[in-house]
């Protein structure tokens, strides 16, 4: 968990596109996915992003470029799911990353062979990179909580200051970017004086989140200390926690969301490893006038580098805009560094009672919103529950999402003296209720 040669901004790849200053996938990133070529019957297999290409790990495993521990790591990542690689642990993760870095770096004697196992990103389709066993969604942005509560004349619950609030989500409806999001059916009660009604959601929303993939779990009955929590994260992705606000408002008390959240969750196809993100860790603190965390949620390491400065943006593209080839307008720009609780604190609290996390478990960060109006991570905040519709460009406005709308998330990290790295795109399109 230390900076090393793979973070050196002066190191270049023999693949010219990987040296483009605005690419998401330079040599210093090397995110993982599961893919296959479109319009064929190829097997799904693991891949690594570099520039505008993908290193086909299944094909690489059959070359003489890899041997020993690197061959074992490549083979574990070469199948239809990355879970076997996650289960090998941090040593194998680093062996894979460092081995690929050497193969792709300018001057590598293996360049001719590795070029033969590259596949253009434009030619592929993606599937879920991991098999998600369990999914926990958190609620950890104070700005988001304040913005939402204020609309209904409420105060943020006192427990928000003391623990990372979460609920157990539905893993079966998590799909990769490009997911068809069917407008959910359910009960809602917008008029407190009337009976609830059943029908399609009228207040469909997105939530901008980061997904954390657990790489190494813990034994049931044990706990993960805050100081060790980051070592259990394999990598991060972009996550859209689609939300039916009208259904949610009616069903949520006293046990929390159910139908409002279980119909769809979309993640980006790329998992950016935690090692690639090390340069973009940053300090975490809380305003002195607010309660400070209890001892098990407080550590010097967490204060020094528990947060991640990941730049994020959200845009919406309507069906008519897409048909006309019009580009979507960016509605939100914010950073993951604003979260009230860190990923490490989420993991420490999740396991403090003896819960056993497992390889492939997915944690959602909760909606990411910043302190200014343009940093709201959901439409319910951005439009003040549709009372102030937002301009999505080309004469169209939205209070909540309409059928045909595509929601796009982008994320990247940049810091002086380091190379910019990105997460690709997470997108999903709203379809009518079935």
3-class secondary structure, 377: coil
Which two three-digit tokens encode residue 194? 């009337």
- Given 2, 5, 98, 144, the catalytic residue: 144
Which two three-digit tokens encode residue 287? 């305003």
**Which whole-number Å values give the CA distances from 417 to 9, 31, 280, in the listed order?**
7, 20, 11
Query: What sign results for the dihedral spanned by CA atoms 91, 174, 379, 180?
Result: positive
In the annotation, is 2 catalytic? no
Task: Express the helix, strand and coil content of the chain in percent, nearest 5 each.
Answer: 25, 30, 45
Residue pair 82/130 in contact (Cβ under 8 Å)? The answer is yes
Chain centroid, CA 319 distance in Å: 25
Q: Which residues are catalytic?
A: 144
């Amino acid at each position: 968990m230390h900076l090393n040669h793979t973070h050196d901004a002066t190191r270049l790849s023999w693949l010219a596109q990987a040296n483009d200053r605005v690419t998401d996938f330079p040599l210093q990133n090397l995110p993982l996915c599961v893919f296959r070529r479109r319009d064929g019957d190829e097997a799904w297999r693991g891949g690594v992003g570099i520039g505008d290409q993908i290193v086909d790990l299944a094909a690489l495993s059959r070359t003489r470029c890899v041997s020993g521990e690197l061959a074992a790591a490549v083979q574990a990542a070469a199948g239809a799911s990355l879970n076997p690689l996650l289960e090998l642990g941090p040593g194998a993760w680093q062996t894979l990353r460092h081995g690929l870095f050497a193969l792709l770096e300018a001057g590598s004697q293996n360049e001719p062979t590795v070029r033969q196992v590259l596949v253009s990103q434009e030619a592929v389709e993606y599937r879920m990179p991991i098999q998600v066993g369990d999914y926990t969604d958190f609620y950890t942005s104070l700005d988001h909580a304040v913005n939402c509560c204020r609309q209904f004349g409420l105060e943020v619950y006192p427990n928000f200051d003391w623990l990372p609030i979460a609920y157990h989500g539905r893993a079966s409806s998590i799909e990769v970017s490009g997911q068809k999001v069917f407008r959910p059916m359910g009960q809602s009660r917008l008029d407190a004086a009337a009976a609830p009604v059943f029908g399609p959601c009228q207040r469909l929303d997105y939530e901008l989140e980061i997904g954390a993939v657990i790489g190494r779990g813990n034994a049931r009955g044990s706990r993960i200390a805050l100081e060790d929590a980051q070592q259990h994260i394999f990598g991060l992705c972009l996550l859209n926690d689609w939300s039916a606000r009208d259904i949610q408002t009616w069903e949520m008390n006293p046990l929390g969301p159910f139908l409002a959240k279980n119909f769809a969750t979309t993640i980006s196809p790329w998992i950016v490893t935690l090692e690639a993100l090390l340069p973009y860790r940053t300090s975490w603190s809380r305003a002195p006038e607010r309660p400070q965390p209890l001892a098990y949620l407080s550590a010097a390491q967490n204060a020094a580098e528990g947060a991640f400065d990941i730049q994020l943006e959200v845009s919406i593209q309507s069906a008519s805009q897409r048909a006309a080839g019009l580009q979507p307008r960016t509605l939100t720009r914010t950073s993951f560094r604003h979260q009230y609780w860190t990923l490490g604190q989420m993991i420490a609290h999740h396991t403090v009672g003896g819960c056993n996390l497992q390889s492939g478990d997915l944690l959602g960060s909760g909606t990411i919103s910043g302190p200014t109006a343009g940093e709201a991570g959901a439409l319910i905040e951005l439009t003040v529950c549709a009372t102030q519709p937002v301009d999505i460009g080309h004469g169209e406005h939205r209070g909540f999402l309409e059928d045909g709308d595509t929601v796009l998330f982008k994320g990247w990290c940049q810091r002086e003296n380091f190379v910019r790295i990105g997460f690709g795109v997470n997108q999903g399109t709203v379809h009518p209720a079935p």
